[in-house]
Chains A and B, each alone.
Chain A
Amino acid sequence: MNILSIDTSNQTMGIAIVKDGQLAGEYITNVKKNHSVRLMPAIDQLMRDTETSPEDLKKIVVAKGPGSFTGIRIGLSTAKTMAWALKIPVVAVSSLEAVAYQGSFFDQLICPFFDARRGLVYTGVYRWNASGELEHIEEEKNIMLTELLDKLAQQKSSVLFLSQDIELHRDVITQTMGDKAIIPESSHHVPRPSLLAQVGADKDADELHTLTPNYLRLAEAEANWLKQQQGKD
């Protein structure tokens, strides 16, 4: 089975083609550049290099966020439309969960996060269970990092932190968590589209038309409007 995976949800832009469980090709950039301009040329190039035609694809796996609202939508509108045109299933995977897979060999808590400004992060907590499945320990949320760290510091387990934005928060993590915080070298933090494809390979397809991004946050206008409505009561 040939799978195309797409991740444009954060700064890293990644695509991979996996054929019958084998990685055929992977393309990753980690630069602040426009995903909209570069995504389709990259897909085109990778498909040529791996001698894959669109009709050869049997599944599309896409990272559905959290992350940049615009970035997630670029990935989702591309993936949904391609899946629709090729009449193949689309599987959307949480961008946090995809990163958590990079801690595959770590048997304690795994905490991937993306910076969401003003001390906030998009984050969740995971652990590999005895039967080799990735379990959610803490639901994915948009919260203050310090709030999460206070909670994690009370646990006995070590926590593996995985984030492209790790340097923004390294100090507060190590101050709060001490030795229990495990922070790997920089390349381990980069989301891997090949892992995304692997995660999506085993998941059931999403319903194409109703598939929406995993924003974890209301649009600002919406949040303000809701606040106003509550004020009226």
Chain B
Amino acid sequence: MGEIMKKDQFILGIETSCDETAMAIVKNGVEVVANVVASQIESHKRFGGVVPEIASRHHVEQITIVLEETFEKANMSVEDMDAIAVTEGPGLVGALLIGVNSAKALAFAKNKPLVGVHHIAGHIYANRLNKEFSFPLLALVVSGGHTELIVMREHGSFEIIGETRDDAAGEAYDKVARTLQLPYPGGPHIDRLAKVGEANIDFPRAWLEDDSYDFSFSGLKSAVINTLHNAEQRGVTLKKEDVAASFQASVVEVLTAKTYKAAKEYGVKQVIVAGGVAANQGLRNELQLKFNDEIELLIPPLDLCTDNAAMIAAAGSIAYDQGHRAGWDLNANPSLDLEKYSLRGTL
């Protein structure tokens, strides 16, 4: 009685929600076959942030180049794909549209199923490229646009238990970095300075209500800016390193404490960290210290923390297995809701 050989599944992922034109091929939802990211960071640097119109212009210039490179690297062709998965939202609408329309054209031309993917589902599933999930799990998603605590009880199901009420963590990083006159993008620079600085300024921690898993970073951001201005007026120079360390200490403490508390309350088997800020060394260290083998902690390698398409293919693999199918009328949805998105698999 031989076991029936299960055919391998290959998904092409396409991601253009912000300033990276990315495509990847993932095998069986867990193995990266090819992963190509064309970054535009250099083009946006001089503007001090991502300019949506310029991002869209770059995407349309890059789209077939990245396609070709991805399939060349994988040594595969579109015929070998089981489905085309694409980020449908959230993100910059003009940027998303390039990926969505390109994905539709590819799926139509090659008669392949099309799957829409939620960008945050993608960030979470980046971790599955490292290690299989065990449920229930808790995901801390931290990026330039997101700060969320999400409970997953099974594949494809996302329950948001906490989110930011104002700025995303990454946004606060970028704004503080700008005030400190650090180059764009500022997050990594703060992380770097914080390493050598001393957290000797007492910035506020926004805990909000006792039972809340929500976040708020705008007060902290203002406190940093005010502290810098006051010092300037008094003719005192604060060490950038110390400001960075003190700011980061506040962010990391709140993120870590809330994540830990939620992990305990929900009795999760794994804690996952996802999104661009997951690359932050300060956050990684603190989380590792806090969880310290008590609960399994998954943090993706650096290249899977930032936007990429392997994560979209990985999330697309599950959505595909669960029967998600997009029609030819698939549109970009800049404010796609994660919980509504997760319900699609059960409809």
Contacts and interface: CB of A to CB of B under 8 A. Distances in A.
Interface string A132-167: 000000000000000000000000000000000000
Say which size band chain A's interface belongs to: 35 or more
A104 interface: no
Contact of B64 (A40, A44, A209, A222): A209
A51 interface: no
A74 B105 CA distance: 10
Nearest to A44: B328
Interface stretch (A77-85, A113-121, A170-178): A77-85
Chain B facing A: main interface SS: helix
Interface in B103-158: 104-106, 108-111
Contact of B46 (A40, A210, A212, A225): A225
Interface stretch (A10-18, A24-32, A93-101, A213-221): A213-221
Given A69-B53, A219-B54, A225-B47, A84 B68 contact: yes
Given A36-B332, A219-B57, A54 B109 contact: yes
B248 interface: no
A70 B108 contact: no
Interface string A186-221: 000000000000000000000011101101000111
A5 to B, nearest CB: 14
A37 interface: yes
Contacts of B61: 210, 212
Interface string B52-76: 0110110111011101100000000
A170 to B, nearest CB: 31
A225 B329 CA distance: 37
A73 B98 contact: yes
A221 B60 contact: no
B271 interface: no
A22 interface: no
A69 to B, nearest CB: 7
Contacts, number: 108
B97 A84 contact: no
A85 B109 contact: yes
Contact of B101 (A78, A84, A221): A78
A78 B60 contact: no
Contacts of A36: 97, 100-101, 331-332
B41 interface: no
A81 B67 CA distance: 9
B51 A34 contact: no
B329 A37 contact: yes
Nearest to B100: A36
Contacts of A84: 64, 67-68
B54 A41 contact: no
Contacts of A212: 57, 60-61
Given A40-B108, A82-B109, A219-B54, A70 B97 contact: yes
A44 B105 CA distance: 10
A31 B331 CA distance: 18
A77 B109 contact: no
A169 interface: no
B53 A85 contact: no
Nearest to B112: A85
B133 to A, nearest CB: 32
A78 B104 contact: yes
A78 B109 CA distance: 10
B158 to A, nearest CB: 25
B63 A77 contact: yes
Interface in B209-246: none
B53 A80 contact: no
B78 interface: yes
Contact of A80 (B46, B64, B78, B100): B64
A190 B330 CA distance: 27
A128 B98 CA distance: 36
Interface string A219-230: 111100100000
A210 B60 CA distance: 10
Interface string A54-78: 1000000000000001100110111
Contact of B111 (A41, A54, A81): A54
16 contacts: A34-B331, A40-B330, A41-B329, A70-B56, A73-B98, A77-B59, A78-B102, A81-B63, A81-B67, A81-B101, A85-B110, A212-B57, A212-B60, A219-B54, A221-B51, A225-B46
Interface of A: 34, 36-41, 43-44, 54, 69-70, 73-74, 76-82, 84-86, 208-210, 212-213, 215, 219-222, 225
Given A73-B56, A77-B97, 9 more contacts: A37-B331, A40-B104, A69-B57, A70-B94, A76-B60, A80-B102, A82-B106, A85-B109, A212-B60
Interface of B: 46-47, 51, 53-54, 56-57, 59-61, 63-65, 67-68, 78, 94, 97-98, 100-102, 104-106, 108-111, 327-332
A-B complex: 10 closest residue pairs judged by Cβ atoms: A40-B328, A81-B105, A85-B109, A219-B53, A81-B102, A221-B51, A82-B105, A78-B105, A77-B101, A84-B64
